[in-house]
A and B are shown apart, each in its own frame.
Chain A
Amino acid sequence: MFDKMTLQVLANHARAAAENMAHTLHRTAHSAFVKETQDFTVMLMDRRGDTFAVPMELGATWYPGLTYGRAIDMVEDYRPGDVAFTNDPYSGHVATHAPDTHLWKPVFAEDEIVAWTGGHIHNTDMGGAVPASLSRSLTEIHQEGIRFPPMKLVREGVFDDQILRIMQTNVRKPALNIGDIQALVGALNTGERKVHQMIARFGKRGFVQGVAALMDQAEAQARDILRAIPDGDYRFADYADEDSDHANPCRLNLTLKIRGDEAVLDFTGSDPQLASSLNVPSGGDPRHTILLVGVYYVLYTLNPRILLNTGLTRPFTCIAPEGTVLNPVAPAAVGMRSLTCARLRSVIFGAFSQAIPDRMPAAPAGNNCIVNVMTRDERTQKTVIAAVNPVVGGGGGMPWRDGTNGSGADAAYLKNTPIEITETEVPVEFVRYGLAQDSGGAGRWRGGLATEMAFRVFAPDTRITARNRDRSFFRPWGVLGGRAAGLSDMIVNPGTPEERTLGNTDTAILQPGDVLAIRSAGGGGRGDPKLREPWRVAQDVARGYVSADAARRDYGVVPGDDAATQGLRANMATPAAHFHFGPEREGYETRWTPEAYDTLTRILASLPIHWRFFTKTEIFRRIEGEGPGAVQRAFDAVCERFPELPRAPERVEAAE
């Protein structure tokens, strides 16, 4: 048994090894995706393939609880110097979309595997139907690029040239892929060397036992946190604005059951798997890291000293029924799962907010929109493709301060590009890049403001993609009396006769002189706005964060006029509900009540998987009225129109 008193020494050595791997990869990678966006992870894993250490400063935040075990087991006969890899979301459930290429390498001590080093990079392109391999409109995994099931990429130190040639033939930027993969192999080698140093420092037995103790420690920390949360069932649902190009909302539903030091996250009631690429391939693993990212944020926020490793997933069990958006079956497309994952996190935050209202913030903006432009440079007569700034919104109001403006909470890893650099490289001219007034939810602690960005283009048929746009209909919610935040939007030529509002669309075509304005959502407010100190409201008005009208309307404050403020506030109602969602969701849910969704879920779950999304879409097309009855009537109408639909349960079995 490892001496617990000095466990922090081993934890620090493990973290140093992980940071070393991250720096090696970051330093030697080729693509902007890895170097600038930092869309990569590296980790150390125990002999079963469970992650026990990750870096804290570089890379993405998704995989501290990832287990490679299933993928490891799909390859046989590991030897020293081997590296295996996969990017197939449906083999082993390690990769979660095709651009993410995961590698792992055994670490031997005395002829025995004692650990693994691993990690992933987001390849710029893996081939398939569209450049970058990502589009919401894709409907099956085969359109999303070439896939490699788990296999050896490096044999005893030598790259398998055949695999590299197959990859080079099938992807659009082969040099970037190969360069990044080689950099990741270098990082894995660094990790292997560091593990050997740890074995020399702590002994093989000490190392193996210490790694187990690190996982146990994280588990104990997580259980301590759960034990301090009142037992109960906490239900919450949230929506992505659109489930596909068919444009019905996509609902994620969670019942968080806290019992003592354990928790079940039951996602039953979430939408059926989609005929778009917004599916999240969890494989039904009850502790799949991609379902638990929101949990990592909650645990880390509650205890910033928590060890981030697989141990902290142990007290949690996820239920994601097969054939739903959170557990799709092949060949459902999954490329744009990051949009759904943002919503998944806000669902988890909402459930925990009910359990521990004093310690959780309101909803973050939750739309991490990545903007790309393809245009022609009239000076060089060349086509330019470039990433412009991400447009992200603020964090939710916190228990003791306002939400962070312009990004924050679960979007803090994103980085922007200087306007001066973009304007020098790309023929666009920015008109605005800043914070949007009145976009943060009002509250005792105001939600973080949205970002708005506007730029002008100069060449005809300039194409814009704005991936991950969302929250143009369903607002980031406020809590404890705080109000929901402002919505995201995308507008061509705002304030002119040619103004076009694009709503939730994620593409646009612009002509010379057109200005495109993109705005994110804001963060939700926290606490009753009339309890916000008038001086803070006055300061927000002076800073332009809040307009004088909104100060009066939402906060009951007239800056500099105490009497008027008192008068206004005396007449303001005290909000009673835990959440404030805004008129759009409230309106939507008069028809689509929780009971209506229960009916829909029951109907769809009884159908074969390939009928479900079709049937959902047809029900939405026909529904009139409100509640479960309306859903049933709409379904009856669908059955009448499509007699082929296998309606009765016995026919379902027959159809399968």
Chain B
Amino acid sequence: MDGNTADWKIGVDIGGTFMDFCALEARSGRVASLKVLTTPDDPGAELLEGLRLLAEREGLDPAAVSRFVHGTTVGINTIIQRKGATLALITNAGFEDVVELARLRMPDMYSLFCHRPDPLIPRDMIFGIPARLRADGRETTAPDPQAIAFAVDRARAAGAAGVIVALLHSWRDGRQEAAVKAQVETLAPDLFVFTSSEVWPVIREYERTSTAILNGYVHPRVSGYLAALERRLADQGVPARAMLTKSNGGLMTAGQGRRDCVSMLLSGTASGVIGASWLARQAGEGRILTLDIGGTSADFALIVDGEVQFGTDERIGEFPLHIPSVSVSSIGIGGGSIATVDGQGVLRVGPESAGSNPGPACYGRGGDRATVTDALAVCGWLGHSQMAYGQLRMDVDLARQAVGALAATLGRSLEDTAQAILDIAISEMFVEVEKLSSRAGVDLRDFALMPFGGGGPMLGAFLARELGMARVIAPRRPGVVSALGGLVADLRGDFIRTVFADLGVSLAAPFRALADEGRAWLAAQGHHGPADLRLSADMRYAGQSYEIEVELQPAWLDTPARMAEAFHATHRRIYDFDDTQGRIEVVNLRLSAIGAGPKPEFPAEAGTAAAATPARLVPVHMGRWRDVPLYDRADLAAGATFAGPAIVAQEDTTFAIPDGTRAAVDRHLNIHLTFEE
């Protein structure tokens, strides 16, 4: 590309209601963002609409798009809506029920009606074959070809589109599974086959098997979707290779995503946290609680000392996900959560939600039950400007009717009832955040809260106050943080080898194998720059039933004392104690292969401190009605300062700012809110 033409980098995030675009023109530093309503009947059409709008408004030329990154909910929706592929599972005879029994323990353990989700593969599509590996990798029974042939016949007769092969101890040696796969492919070339050891070769049969099943279950849909996407981009003349955001916060090519489907299930949520961490770094903050509120749920994540946190027990709908994923906690409270009064006259909020259709009563789409958004409107925090880029209109009278019905039941004033709905919604989130911070062992008073999504800025400052957090940072474009996250993310592939050995055996060989795998993966994504290979190991004291991940240097692999030291220190940090005499086991070696791309530069404004000028005063109820300054976000230049209470209105959200706060706008136009002591 020559020096004079434009160079567009586009990040796109597809949610339930909107497709968000964040586009950066790298030569001029111009940033454009917009939202397009999704078109469930014609997935992909909204992409064309977005590109058309970008061309119309910003003069975008598809041929000048050098980077196209997107996140999508197509995978997770396939699971939640149970619209995935019909699959068969071939496993060891005698162990056909591993998938259904899972790890036994269930949530909601006080209920006699507690139950596990129906497995994605029903028992009659699970075929046990004589085959057995011992824990040391020795094959005591070879897979029985006749049993495999029988399973394939039955699977095809039942309409299976694919076959999952998961055999005991294939974490140790994947060759037995590979042999079964080869036979299945010979017998049925029309069926796709995934083995558990090729998807994620980790010890623990349920976790490994269920990961392979998730991969196969979404494979046809995700693959079809990505193929169509690549075709549409090509048709538009976009030269960039389409990239996909992953659950681990990194990127891969859309082509990789067509096989490696399980790693993109949390695509959008993870890139939201990546986007937030990028914004936080720009704003000079290392410790952040992110808050993303949509219509039905609120997502939280911690960024500790600039690093997003990873977990291996995230959930996909009803199922656990066992591959490395950006750790995000979720609770079913959002703008659409419905308020009710129980038999004892106590007000409750959620988990029932009006969602985006019909949505809150004030959207005027037929909803008539009071929601959190309606309570905000009744109190005067919302309803002063257009929303969602003009695609939603607010009718505060409808909100007052809906909340008024509850107020009548309670015998309380309209405003008191609305405030109570907000207080309760905030307290529900408070529980979830307290759990998150106590699990992580961090003190939130050292953190700043970063709200984003359509609803985050509306409730974020109230939640921060409840949590005793002193600071809130509201980014300039809260509606497109996930889309931005894709633009700033690196290529990232994760690899694992279970070694399960006492500390002391040489780990150089498995590490070399992992490193080769990582480099090959980066090359396949088209990355030719330096490879950042990060090594870690899951370790534990012998006798413990859980492992902790310890970051390692490759040079330590032949120095067990150094690895032991790192393990003791990590154990002490997480659990407050160590046992320097304890025998140490290495369960898994992990490697993340990271290929850093060029980072886009966002413009920064120089500014001088000056009191901001409100657009007007609006009435807001905070115990009593008060006139509160309303600022237009577009008017808030770098250096602007103002005091709470206040409202900042912008095209995609409203930032509600309580009393007792000071606000200042930084060079990147983030609003920094500080609670006064």
Contacts and interface: CB of A to CB of B under 8 A. Distances in A.
Contact of A5 (B410, B427, B576): B410
A423 B140 CA distance: 14
A301 B430 CA distance: 25
B134 A423 contact: yes
Given A418-B206, A420-B171, A28 B98 contact: no
B104 A414 contact: yes
B97 A28 contact: no
Interface stretch (A216-224, A280-288, A333-341, A580-588): A216-224
Contacts of B189: none
A484 B585 CA distance: 46
Given A301-B113, A404-B115, A416-B103, A217 B441 contact: no
B360 to A, nearest CB: 20
A309 interface: no
Interface string A27-38: 110101001100
Nearest to A399: B113
B105 to A, nearest CB: 4
A4 B104 contact: no
B420 interface: yes
A434 B348 contact: no
B146 interface: no
A53 to B, nearest CB: 11
B113 A545 contact: no
A576 interface: no
Interface stretch (A8-16, A503-511, A564-572): A8-16
A410 B111 CA distance: 8
Given A16-B431, A32-B544, A545-B123, A434 B101 contact: yes
B111 A8 contact: no
A17 B433 CA distance: 11
A395 interface: yes
A404 B101 contact: no
A525 B299 CA distance: 40
Given A8-B347, A8-B424, A23-B439, A297 B112 contact: yes
A30 B124 CA distance: 42
Interface in B4-28: none
A432 interface: yes
Given A9-B423, A424-B135, A545-B123, A434 B435 contact: no
B468 interface: yes
Interface string A296-316: 111011001100100000000
A599 interface: no
A36 B546 contact: yes
A544 interface: yes
B111 A304 contact: yes
B512 interface: no
Contact of A349 (B112, B169, B417): B112
A108 interface: no
Interface in B641-665: none
Given A23-B435, A419-B168, A434-B97, A409 B346 contact: no
A364 interface: yes
A9 B347 CA distance: 10
Contact of B105 (A413, A418, A424, A544): A413
Contacts of A221: 343-344
B123 A544 contact: yes
B434 interface: yes
A205 interface: no
A641 interface: no
Given A4-B346, A224-B344, A420-B205, A186 B576 contact: yes
Contacts of B348: 8, 305
Contact of B345 (A4, A296, A301): A4
Interface in A215-272: 217, 220-221, 224
Given A5-B410, A16-B430, A297-B112, A23 B576 contact: no
Contacts of B344: 4, 217, 220-221, 224
A383 interface: no
Contacts of B59: none
B420 A5 contact: yes
B543 A420 contact: no
A20 B435 contact: yes
Contacts of B204: 418, 420-421
A166 B395 CA distance: 71
Given A12-B431, A27-B439, A361 B113 contact: yes
Given A16-B430, A224-B343, A305-B348, A408 B545 contact: no
Contact of B435 (A19, A308, A401, A415): A19
A406 B107 contact: no
A24 interface: yes
Interface string A109-142: 0000000000000000000000000000000000
Contacts of A650: none
B112 A435 contact: no
B412 interface: yes
A159 interface: no
A390 B104 CA distance: 9
Interface in A12-60: 12-13, 15-17, 19-20, 23-24, 27-28, 30, 32, 35-36, 56-57
A412 B95 CA distance: 21
A304 B410 CA distance: 22
Contacts of A304: 108, 111
Contact of B543 (A32, A179, A186): A32
Contact of B104 (A13, A406, A420, A543): A406
A419 B205 contact: yes
B555 interface: no
Contact of A435 (B100, B107, B124, B435): B100
B240 to A, nearest CB: 43
A301 B168 contact: no
Interface string B220-232: 0000000000000
A434 B346 CA distance: 45
Contacts of A32: 543-545
5 contacts: A6-B423, A16-B431, A61-B110, A415-B104, A434-B95
Q: Which 8 A-B pairs have the closest CB atoms?
A: A434-B97, A12-B427, A543-B123, A16-B434, A23-B438, A432-B94, A300-B110, A415-B105
Interface of B: 94-98, 100-101, 103-116, 122-124, 134-135, 168-169, 171, 203-207, 342-349, 410, 412, 416-417, 420, 423-424, 426-428, 430-431, 434-435, 438-439, 441, 466, 468, 500, 543-546, 574-577
